[in-house]
Amino acid sequence: MAALSPPDTFKRRAEFLRLTSRGRKLARPGFVMQALTGQGESPLRVGYTATKKLGNAVARNRARRRLKEAARLSLAGRELPGVELVFICRQETAGTAFEKLRAGIDAALAEVLK
């Protein structure tokens, strides 16, 4: 079950801001992904965020949990050394079909890694 374990996450605001300023931004239905590649041989790191525009804490947490699970399943088993990702929830994240979220993450990852 180690292959399905979640990747390391960003904890500090400065890490999110660094990725925002230097990373590539890809908008998809249900989320926005910011990606930075070529960070040496460090393991994959991921961050998740939801703004207050989404609603109260319950709505933000629900959207973030759905996006985290979709990303965890899409990233499972992939070797992505030196890749850093930030997923930003959108208004439609909570209502988008789970399979569509996963397909969007897979497509965005394919675009970043090509």
CATH of the domain at 36: 3.30.230.10
17 and 28 Cβ atoms separated by less than 8 Å: no
The percentage of residues in the chain with a pLDDT greater than 90, rounded to a whole number, is 67
Residues 50-60 have pLDDT tens digits of 999 999 999 99
What Å distances lie between residue 70 and 8, 55, 114, CA to CA? 15, 21, 21
Could you list the residue range(s) of the whole structural domain that residue 70 is in?
Answer: 2-6+26-113
Q: Is residue 14 part of a domain?
A: no
pLDDT over 70 (residue 63): yes
Give residue 3's pLDDT.
58
Q: What CA–CA distance (Å, rounded) separates 67 from 40?
A: 26
Length of the chain: 114
Per the prediction, the chain carries an average pLDDT of 90
Give me the long-range contacts of 54-60 (CB less than 8 A, separation at least 24): 54/89, 54/90, 54/91, 54/93, 54/94, 59/94, 60/89
Q: Is residue 77 part of a domain?
A: yes
Residues contacting 12, CB < 8 A, separation 6+:
none
Residues 38-48 have pLDDT tens digits of 877 888 899 99
Give residue 84's pLDDT.
93
Q: Is residue 43 part of a domain?
A: yes
pLDDT over 90 (residue 1): no
Number of structural domains, the chain? Answer: 1
pLDDT over 80 (residue 2): no
Q: What CA–CA distance (Å, rounded) separates 87 from 35?
A: 9
Maximal CA-CA distance, the chain: 38
Q: Is residue 51 part of a domain?
A: yes
